Amino acid sequence: MPTRATITCTAYAEPGPVAFILPLPPPIGRSAQRRRPRQRSYWRLGCVHTGPVEIDAQCTEPTLTRAQHTELVRYRAVVAYDGTDFHGFQRQSNSRAYPTIQSQLELVLQRRLGCCQWRCQVVGAGRTDAGVHARGQVVHFDIPESMAESVAFEPLQLQHAMNQLLPRTIQIRALEVAPLPQLCLIRHIQEYKILPWHAIYHARGKLYVYRMFAGQWRDPLHQRYVYSEHRSLPRWTDAESLLQAFVGTHDFGAFAHSPPNKADRQRVLHSTVRTIRRIVLVPRDEGGIVPVWQFHFELDGALYRMIRNLIGAFLAVAKGDLEPELVLKALEQGLRGRALIAARVKPAPAQGLCLEQVYYADGYPIKHSASTNTPAEGTDTIRKSARGAPFPNGAELEKR
């Protein structure tokens, strides 16, 4: 008896039919005869949703009982959130006990869809950890065309409705219909495919900012968003010069933790090479009593807890607990170098990290001026303050 069957369905993402491989049902028995037909839904990248495939327990070949295609409309949005009260961005198995940003967005979209049988799934450009914030997280989701034609799903109306239903710590900054499918490079397989606009695959870079107080006391008004380091940092200048060693394409396996998900762990083991385009240390006054130091990381992508481990290495060197040469050696060895610094490099607290912006080729979410070469207001995310900030407590003072 064969163990697999093939169903050929039509998809519009690529020319030609697409084959779905389905396992056949187990041999017929008393329990199988009383069992209800099994239904499975399939998703195809190409803005096409294939109806459920019903497998009769008494048949050796699956049959399509509802071979209809539902056209979808893809939306993209910019989301800002305070991650203090959430267990990261990605949906957890128990969404009630462990609320996440993705589960909250999907819950609100399902409420807007009402009795529609379509299950809306939100895809984010970056999966932030528990406690990490975002000002420029980009997501996309698909809505059936029959629902998208209604006034309730016009971008402005949908954005307003979602902001009313979402918690006050999650808000939609911008929402619009995504552009048409384009040729896209799938990095993990190094192939080009024509895909609809995708928040992950079409991203060209990200900007993370880590904020830190460096003084003898902490500002209570910024407690949820800024990390406070009250200990002395006598080797601050050595640690600051170390940051520039991370710029470029390196194997950052020594600064990555193993993700909790098994599939993510396998992906990390296959590729731990990332590119950091620039690192800028900016002293700024955030309006509080204590000055805030901002670490700007502009990169193509980050590994699990990579940014927080880099900040942890910076602090370990600034305190004098770790030599810069040992950090450079760990960077050269990649995954094997993790053992050299694991005992003294701990990930920096999550509340100081924020995903500020995700960059795309079309300028989304901030459009650039077409008439001039200067970017529009708000696009210069790294601008040194004229006011500056004093050196941290115990730091070596040098003429800069």
Please give the chain's pLDDT, 400 residues, in tens. Answer: 444 333 333 333 333 333 333 344 444 454 444 444 433 333 333 333 333 333 233 333 333 233 344 688 999 999 999 999 999 999 887 767 789 999 999 999 999 888 777 888 999 999 999 999 999 999 999 999 888 888 889 999 999 999 999 999 999 999 999 998 877 777 767 888 888 899 998 899 999 999 998 777 777 888 899 998 888 889 999 999 999 999 999 999 889 887 655 555 455 456 788 999 999 998 876 665 667 899 999 999 899 899 999 999 999 999 999 999 999 999 988 878 888 888 888 999 999 999 999 999 888 886 543 333 333 333 333 333 333 344 454 444 343 3
What is the DSSP secondary-structure string of 183-212?
EEEETTTTEEEEE---TTTTEEEEEEEEEE
Q: What is the pLDDT of residue 206?
A: 95
In angstroms, rounded to a whole number, what is the distance separating the alpha carbons of residues 231 and 5?
Answer: 64
Q: What is the pLDDT of residue 65?
A: 30
> Is the link from the previous residue into 392 a cis peptide, with omega within 30 of 0?
no
DSSP code for 330: H
Q: What is the pLDDT of residue 11?
A: 36
Active-site entry in 56, 85, 129, 219: 129
In angstroms, rounded to a whole number, what is the distance separating the alpha carbons of residues 349 and 83?
Answer: 12
Return the CATH number of 71-195, one of 3.30.70.580, 3.90.700.10, 3.30.70.141, 3.30.1740.10: 3.30.70.580
Q: What is the pLDDT of residue 130?
A: 92
Q: What is the pLDDT of residue 260?
A: 54
In angstroms, rounded to a whole number, what is the distance separating the alpha carbons of residues 72 and 197?
Answer: 13
Q: What is the pLDDT of residue 70?
A: 64
Report the amino acid identity of residue 105: L
Q: What is the pLDDT of residue 154?
A: 92
Q: What is the pLDDT of residue 71?
A: 86
Domain ranges of the chain: 4-67, 71-195, 204-360
Q: Are 207 and 359 in contact (CB under 8 A)?
A: yes
In angstroms, rounded to a whole number, what is the distance separating the alpha carbons of residues 77 and 139?
Answer: 5
Q: What is the pLDDT of residue 267?
A: 53
In angstroms, rounded to a whole number, what is the distance separating the alpha carbons of residues 223 and 349?
Answer: 12
Q: Tell me if domain 71-195 and domain 204-360 are identical in fold.
A: yes
Active site residue 82: no
CATH top-level class for 204-360? alpha beta
Instruction: Spell out the long-range contacts of 392-395 with Cβ–Cβ below 8 A and sequence spacing 24 or more.
Output: 392/214, 392/215, 392/229, 392/233, 392/236, 392/293, 392/318, 393/214, 393/215, 393/216, 393/230, 393/232, 393/233, 394/232, 394/233, 394/234, 394/236, 395/214, 395/233, 395/234, 395/236, 395/237, 395/318
- Helix/strand/coil for 297: strand
Q: What is the pLDDT of residue 8?
A: 36
In angstroms, rounded to a whole number, what is the distance separating the alpha carbons of residues 88 and 301?
Answer: 17
Q: Are 330 and 341 in contact (CB under 8 A)?
A: yes
